[in-house]
Amino acid sequence: MGKIMEAVFCVFYLIFTMIIGIKTVTKSKGNRAFTVFGYMTIILVCGDSFHLVPRIFAAINQSGDYGFWLGIGKLITSITMTVFYFLMYCFYEIHFQKKSLVLRIVMAMLMVIRIALCLFPQNDWTGAAPVTWGIYRNIPFTIMGLLVIVLFFINRKDDIFRWMWLAVALSFIFYLPVVLWADVHPMIGMLMLPKTCMYIWIVMMGYKGTKSLVQK
C-alpha cells in the first residue's frame, strides 16, 4: 500500500508541477524573470520524470526489474537539478536587479563541474554507486544551493519570495542525508518526499508571482 501511495504522489507531483510550469510561462506576460522561472520549473519536472516514472512502474509492478532505468533517471535528474539551480540564480539576478558577473561565472563553473562529475563512470549509476562519488558530485551542487539560500535570505522582503531561502534550505536538509546514508538505512530515502514538497512550494511561489503581474 505504501508503494502505491508513493506512486500516486509521484504522478500528482509530475502532473501538477508541469501544469504550474506551463502556466507560469504563459502568464508571465513577457516578464523575463518569470519566464525564466517558468522554464526552470518545466526543466525540473522533465528531469524528475526520468527518475520518477521508473519508480512509479516499480511501485505498480514490484516483480519487475527497473534498476537500469532508475539509475539512468538519477543521472538525468542530477543534471537537470543542477541547471534548475543555475536558472534560479538567473531569476534572482533579474527579479531583484542584483546582477553580478563574478557570481554568475562562479555559478556557471559550479554547474559545469557538477555535471562533469555526474558523467564520470565511477558513479556507476546503474549499479552499486559508491558513496564517495555521491559526496564528490554533490559538493559543487551544495555550494550552488548555499549561494542561492544566502542571496535570497539577504534580499528577502515582505513579498512572495520572502521564504524562498527557507524552502531551498529545507530541500537540501532533506536531500543530503539521502546521499550520505540511504544505502545503509533505506528508510532515510523517505526524506525525498518532503524534499519534493519543498519543490512544490518553490514553484508555487513563482506561479503566484505571475498573478501579481496580472493585477498590475
The model's pTM = 0.92
- Written as one letter, the residue type at 175 is Y
Q: How confident is the model at residue 213 (pLDDT cuts 50, 70, 90)?
A: low
pLDDT reported for residue 7: 86
Under 8 Å CB-to-CB from 165, ≥6 apart: which residues?
Answer: 148, 149, 150, 152, 153, 156
Which tens digits make up the pLDDT trace of 1-60?
567 888 889 999 999 999 999 999 998 888 899 999 999 999 999 999 999 999 888 888
Neighbours of 25 (CB within 10 A): 19
Neighbours of 40 (CB within 10 A): 24
CA–CA dist 19, 37 (Å, integer): 13
Q: What is the number of helices (H) and of strands (E) in the chain?
A: 7, 0
- Cβ-contact 51, 13 below 8 angstroms: no
CA–CA dist 49, 151 (Å, integer): 29
**Cell numbers representing residue 101 in the block:** 558577473
Neighbours of 206 (CB within 10 A): 27
Which tens digits make up the pLDDT trace of 123-147?
988 887 778 888 999 999 999 999 9
Q: Which of 20, 39, 19 is nearest to 80 (CA)?
A: 39
Q: Which of 53, 66, 9 is nearest to 192 (CA)?
A: 9
Terminal CA-to-CA distance of the chain, rounded, Å? Answer: 47
